[in-house]
Every structure is written in structure tokens, then in C-alpha cells.
């Protein structure tokens, strides 16, 4: 699994981990409401598994970007420092978004 696939998988796991709390807030922000919105907690029991998967995948992406030796032949895009810098920047944007999603259930009661 390359670092891009790992980051995408970790974001998807983060979204799955926080879906029980962000889905009602997104629906309310879109103007879709009602008492049934509070019953959108079907994924709550799976949140620890999604959270663990997201953190493991995020760690694997970090390890691939920072610890693994770059094995690229000259002339290939991955050998260019600008490409590696862009990949690291995207990683940190994704990591911050993912950690925000994982922390959202803790501060969600402040919004509704």
C-alpha cells in the first residue's frame, strides 16, 4: 500500500469513526432536521474500531513518508524534492483533518 492509499484509507476510517456525531450535525446544517436525526447512532459501537484503524493507517503513512528510504531512480517524479515536500504537506493537512474528525465526538455536544 503506498502512502497516498494509506492516507485515503485513514481519512475514510476517520470519517467512519466520527459519522455517528458528524452526520446529525451536517444534516442540521443543511436544514434537514427532526427528532429522527438524534437516532443516527447506529455506527456508535463501531467507533473504537474505526478510530484504531484510522490511527494505524495514519501511522503507516507517516512511516512511509518520513522513515522509509526513498528508492527512486533519477528522473522519476518521486525523486524530486518538491514532490516529496508536497506529499508531506498533504499528509499533515490530512492528519489534522483526521484528528479533528476523531476528536469531534468529544466536543460535539457543544454544538447541539
pLDDT, tens only, 70-110 = 677 777 766 677 878 888 898 899 889 888 878 877 777 77
Scanning the structure block, which residue is given the C-alpha cell 460535539?
108
pLDDT tens-digit readout, 27-58 = 777 777 766 666 666 767 877 887 888 888 88
The pTM of the whole model exceeds 0.85: no
CA-to-CA dists, residue 112 to 48, 64, 107, angstroms: 22, 39, 10
Transcribe 60-98 into DSSP letters: HHHHHHHTS-----TTSGGGSHHHHHHHHHHHHHHHHHH
Tell which wins on pLDDT, 22 or 110.
110
Closest CA to 58 of 2, 9, 102, 93: 9
Amino acid at each position: 500500500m503506498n502512502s497516498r492509499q494509506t492516507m485515503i484509507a485513514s481519512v475514510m476510517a476517520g470519517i467512519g469513526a466520527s459519522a455517528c456525531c458528524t452526520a446529525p450535525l451536517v444534516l442540521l446544517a443543511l436544514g434537514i432536521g427532526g427528532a429522527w436525526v438524534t437516532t443516527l447512532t447506529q455506527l456508535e459501537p463501531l467507533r473504537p474500531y474505526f478510530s484504531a484503524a484510522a490511527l494505524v493507517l495514519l501511522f503507516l503513512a507517516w512511516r512511509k513518508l518520513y522513515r522509509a528510504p526513498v528508492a527512486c531512480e533519477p528522473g522519476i517524479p518521486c525523486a524530486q524534492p518538491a514532490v516529496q515536500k508536497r506529499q508531506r504537506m498533504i499528509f499533515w493537512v490530512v492528519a489534522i483533518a483526521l484528528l479533528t474528525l476523531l476528536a469531534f465526538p468529544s466536543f460535539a455536544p457543544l454544538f447541539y
